[in-house]
A and B are shown apart, each in its own frame.
Chain A
Amino acid sequence: MTATSARLDPPLLEVAALGRAFGPRRAVSNVSFSLRQGECLALFGPNGAGKTTLLRVLAGLLKPSAGNARLSGMELPGGPAARARVGLISHHTMLYEALTGRENVRFAARLHGITDQSRVDAALDRMAMLPRADTPVRSLSRGMQQRISIARAMVHSPRLVLADEPYNGLDESGARSLTSLLRALREAGTAIILVTHNLHEGLALATHAAIMKSGSFIRFDRKDAIDSTRYAERYRESLGASV
């Protein structure tokens, strides 16, 4: 694998003392980590921990109120060049219901300057949505909508994928498509931050794991240092201990 050579490259994403407050409420505070190409950070934590806010800052939707984050050396939120390298998947589908799946993905592609139709088809195909691509999104099931949404997020071949509870709403076959897609991306050198409540799925894909609570990382481990069988216990402990 490319593990050894990856270690010699500079990190793709560097986050230093990142904070984001909404008025008096600190949603994210003092988060630091770095991620190299091909690494996947599984991010766990209770609701309201700040995971979504963290991802939104990294996606360029929010400005940090403290600290900074750099993607390939570009300070986030960066301009168009930085946003072109990031793909955001959320539990909201971010789709236009009146349009078809294909039109939604094509629109996303055009926003990135991509006019090549085959990339649109390939993105849809990776999520096994090609057969239903010409149905208006509103007629699709939640799981299929989520698959279209994932295709939309990947059509521009981002270097960093931010996935906020992407398994939400997916049925088994959708979940399998997603896992194999994420794995393939990781092997091709894409960095991934995966927020999920599913410890098992998360750890299966991860190279690093973090637990977030009240805006900060209370644990950060390399995957090979984790005993997966005991991680669930550790997770509960960490949450209980940090009250």
Chain B
Amino acid sequence: MLSRRVFMRNGGLALLSLGFAPAFLARTVQAAGAARRKVLITIFQRGAVDGLNMVVPFGEKDYYAARPSIAVPKPNVAEGAVDLDGFFGLHPRLAPLKPLWDARQLAIVHASGSPDGTRSHFDAQDYMESGTPGVKSTQDGWLNRYLHAREHADATPFRAVALAAQLPRMLQGVEPALAMNQIGQFGIRAGQATDMLQTSFESEYAAAADKVLNRTGGQAFDAVRMLKSADPSKYQPENGAEYPRSGYGDALRQIAQLVKADVGLEIAFAEAGGWDTHVNQGAAVGQLAQRLSDFSQGIAALARDLGDRMGDVVILTMSEFGRAVAENGNRGTDHGHGNAMFIVGGQGVRGGKVYGRWPGLAREQRYEGRDLAVTTDFRSVFAEVVRGHLGVTDTKSIFPGFANEQRLGFIG
């Protein structure tokens, strides 16, 4: 009984030094001591963000012609785009990302997207998450298939975590993955009786002849203790990082917390919504600008908070499709095709460059005469991250049926 109390008060490490820590804790601590794990943080912009106002092709005449009331002005005027390379610029509310660009930690792939032409949020998100555009019966997500391809003995219950109410399709599959809104809520919740009931449940599962439930139950309670010792309620972001006050900002803060707690995190997931701007989208300011402000402040805070740990981290953003080149009758934009993706990272990321072939915005250059064409399959971007950052050389099992991968070179 004494050992349990010591454990509760001092966390897992005390037990480890006494030589009778649970196997999982020992593994985690070992893992932390050895080479630090690579981490991939994925951010899904659900609802189809307008990539053309996010990464603005201000060098395109047709951009301004097609968007009389919602175009982002050229750089060097008030509320103009933040110039990146003389042709592309960031939306002014993405200015917090500019230092990452300057430090070559931010790479952008423009005109990327799905080979499937669907303009349905449902189908397009499904394809982006299953990683098999056009094939609906795929049961698992591509991130889960990555976990499967890299199955290893010292995996912890925190190997893949979605800071979300539901496990996203991307993480569903045979490999375990966690979904939670608040990491502080992870555990038994029974008020005053929590400790007693947790102990009780734990002994039930520890004695279960049922192998599957016995093992999973054991891992669950190890995980609860692990988090408790990391003490999420006391977390203070470092380096002056300030996360935006939003569900998305909270999610990113907690991801940083998990990274630093060395609980074996490899894949994290967060999402941000509000991009389906059919009406009154706004230009440099307005509806979309507010959402972009939240989006960029979150990423900037995460990178700052993680400090030198960013060397092991890549942040990858995605959205199911882009929006039509021309604005509609409600000063908004309708569902389109090609979009922009961000890759932020420390080591390995060759930032400060917009990758992918730019197809142009003239009517005949557009997809079906209306949308930014897709010149880079989103799987090429995913595959490059999986290979270049996570170190899986053969990505065939993760992206089945994907034959025409383009090597972009933004990471390696």
**A pairs with B:** no
Interface residues of B (CB under 8 A from A): none
Interface residues of A (CB under 8 A from B): none
